[in-house]
A and B are shown apart, each in its own frame.
Chain A
């Protein structure tokens, strides 16, 4: 019997050299939910997922996945979960079909069953035409779909998805989102690491925001956005010289003005399309030339600014942690 929590982690710590990649992470993920772990590169997302998927042993703290301890019962955990890593976890030197047969065989399917299963998955993921091609010739989106297909060769109870859409074009990203939604609707528990608030918002029931190895905020997407301010009007000017004038207007109309790194761009807090339209009209009346504008959700940067008072930093990337780890090994 599993408890109703699919993942319970408390005080997870992982240090690489002098870097505390994960510094006391607590997580509680309900069975059957999609849980987003949101943070910039190097925040400790990948390291956390790798500990939970039993690829890394925590330095301290403990976690149970589907009722099994990730250290003492690692093999039991491996028998219930699947991992889609940040680098596509497929073998580029084999064909798509061979990849799926390989995983099927390793999971204990008999050869004919593994072959039939590979065919079924290739069909379901729209990869039949490419089945006999080497994966190194796949597009990023195809590779990701194959990767996810490999994760469900046998039905997992819990899926770890580490940045499943990073580097994908918008169309492929939407396809991956649709796949994740379908799985979620089918009741699979999913732990999703992402850098995009948008992605977490679209897919997750609950979100933990992680920074410098610590969970700094937790809640539903709605709660999180409410705590941050629900959105922003982004404006890019024809003439950067006019930015002070635009800043004055937007501060008066909307408030919460933020100057972007682009000298012609700025944003202001705004949730409401009508008020945004008024503000744009006011800019036009003040003869401020507008190149383009959009009403968007807060970016990760803005979430971080609101939650931590500093923008999302990208100093040590997860790759660098890996390098540290190699030195330690």
Chain B
């Protein structure tokens, strides 16, 4: 292997050098960013990504739209007697599905981050350690909001007129987003354990797909074989879908809301520290 002859670099023009020197020394270190401020900044980062690549919202919105249209018009008559009646049943369920599918993307985004050098910079900054994670999930909540809103608007266009009114719909959406925040910690953990974003996607959907279909999102559990019915009723996604339906219809069971919130809290309590630990030790 030969070394090329030594090349002398041209001298930096003095002006350029002065600008560099000034840039280097002009900013003394400010007091540290608070935990809240750091997390919010990471949330802002997440939103910028959506702004630059809005297409990434397509997969999470198109699929649920297709499900609503397909199930309502193809199976609605067969399942519920009329498409209108079925829409009332399925829409709050698809809202749950749509937002929960979006949570998988939190894990994919985190895994993608880890393959890039930028995480090194974040980890070398004097910031509250979990702030990149908490912030990313806060940013993702905006996506959940978008995904949920698309479904609700679609429903209204198709004739969905819930008796719970606007308040009920907003409450349902809020509940689903809180639940999604809890669930997304599961996928950030998965995101840190898997080797590639694709693997996260596969693992994520392999979990969330059957869990969503084996719930009461699409069909009343009473029509199922008894073992399956028991499973479907115990599925937290069924409970959440029930709560969401109840809120929209203005006839909610407090128990369903409590169980949904408790599930979200439990998922956060287990998986948030796990995610933080893995994030610290990996890379």
Q: Contact residues of A with B, CB < 8 Å? A: 50, 53-55, 75, 78-79, 81-83, 85-95, 98, 102-103, 105-110, 113, 117, 120-121, 123-126, 134, 149-150, 152-155, 170, 174, 177-179, 181-183, 185-186, 188, 197-198, 202, 232, 234, 236, 260-261, 265, 267, 294-299, 301, 322, 325-326, 329
Interface string of B240-283 (1 = CB under 8 A from A): 00000000000000000000000000000000000000100111
Asked if A55 and B30 sit within 8 Å, CB to CB, the answer is no
B227 at the interface (CB under 8 A from A): no
Point out the residues of chain A lying under 8 angstroms from B23, CB to CB.
Answer: 120-121, 123-125, 149, 152
Asked if B117 and A87 sit within 8 Å, CB to CB, the answer is yes
Asked if A108 and B2 sit within 8 Å, CB to CB, the answer is no
Asked if B17 and A182 sit within 8 Å, CB to CB, the answer is yes
Asked if A108 and B33 sit within 8 Å, CB to CB, the answer is yes
Asked if B121 and A150 sit within 8 Å, CB to CB, the answer is yes
Query: Quick one: which of A95, A108, A121, A124 contacts B31, CB cutoff 8 A?
Result: A108
Instruction: Give 15 new A-B contacts, CB below 8 A, not counting A106-B41, A181-B12.
Output: A79-B29, A89-B121, A90-B118, A94-B48, A103-B121, A106-B33, A106-B38, A109-B30, A155-B26, A174-B7, A261-B1, A294-B2, A299-B2, A299-B3, A326-B283
Closest residue of chain B to A170, judged by CB? B7
Closest residue of chain B to A266, judged by CB? B2
Binds A, one of B88-96, B122-130, B147-155, B199-207: B122-130
Query: Quick one: which of A88, A93, A105, A202 contacts B41, CB cutoff 8 A?
Result: A105
B5 at the interface (CB under 8 A from A): yes
Nearest Cβ distance between residue A173 and chain B, in whole angstroms?
9
B36 at the interface (CB under 8 A from A): no
A232-B5 Cα distance, complex, nearest whole Å: 10
Point out the residues of chain A lying under 8 angstroms from B121, CB to CB.
Answer: 83, 85, 89-90, 103, 150
B interface, size bucket: 35 or more
Asked if A296 and B1 sit within 8 Å, CB to CB, the answer is no
Nearest Cβ distance between residue B196 and chain A, in whole angstroms?
11
Asked if B29 and A106 sit within 8 Å, CB to CB, the answer is no
Point out the residues of chain B lying under 8 angstroms from A87, CB to CB.
Answer: 116-117, 120
B24 at the interface (CB under 8 A from A): yes
A209-B4 Cα distance, complex, nearest whole Å: 21
A297-B283 Cα distance, complex, nearest whole Å: 36
What are the 4 A-B residue pairs with the smallest beta carbon separation, nearest first?
A: A87-B117, A296-B3, A124-B23, A89-B121
Q: A182-B17, A296-B2, A296-B3 are in contact. Are A55 and B124 (CB under 8 A)?
A: yes
- Provide 28 A-B residue pairs closer than 8 Å at the C-beta atoms, listed in order of the A residue: A50-B120, A53-B124, A54-B124, A55-B283, A78-B125, A83-B121, A88-B117, A90-B121, A91-B118, A92-B116, A94-B45, A98-B45, A102-B44, A107-B125, A108-B33, A117-B27, A154-B30, A170-B7, A182-B21, A185-B21, A188-B24, A202-B9, A232-B3, A265-B2, A294-B2, A294-B3, A296-B3, A322-B283
B25 at the interface (CB under 8 A from A): yes
Point out the residues of chain B lying under 8 angstroms from A88, CB to CB.
Answer: 117
A150-B41 Cα distance, complex, nearest whole Å: 16
Asked if B30 and A294 sit within 8 Å, CB to CB, the answer is no
A37-B234 Cα distance, complex, nearest whole Å: 59
Point out the residues of chain A lying under 8 angstroms from B31, CB to CB.
Answer: 108
Nearest Cβ distance between residue B138 and chain A, in whole angstroms?
14
Point out the residues of chain A lying under 8 angstroms from B116, CB to CB.
Answer: 87, 91-92
A117-B1 Cα distance, complex, nearest whole Å: 44
A102-B27 Cα distance, complex, nearest whole Å: 16
Query: Quick one: which of A55, A120, A124, A188 contacts B123, CB cutoff 8 A?
Result: A55
Asked if B120 and A85 sit within 8 Å, CB to CB, the answer is yes
Query: Quick one: which of A105, A150, A236, A329 contacts B33, CB cutoff 8 A?
Result: A105
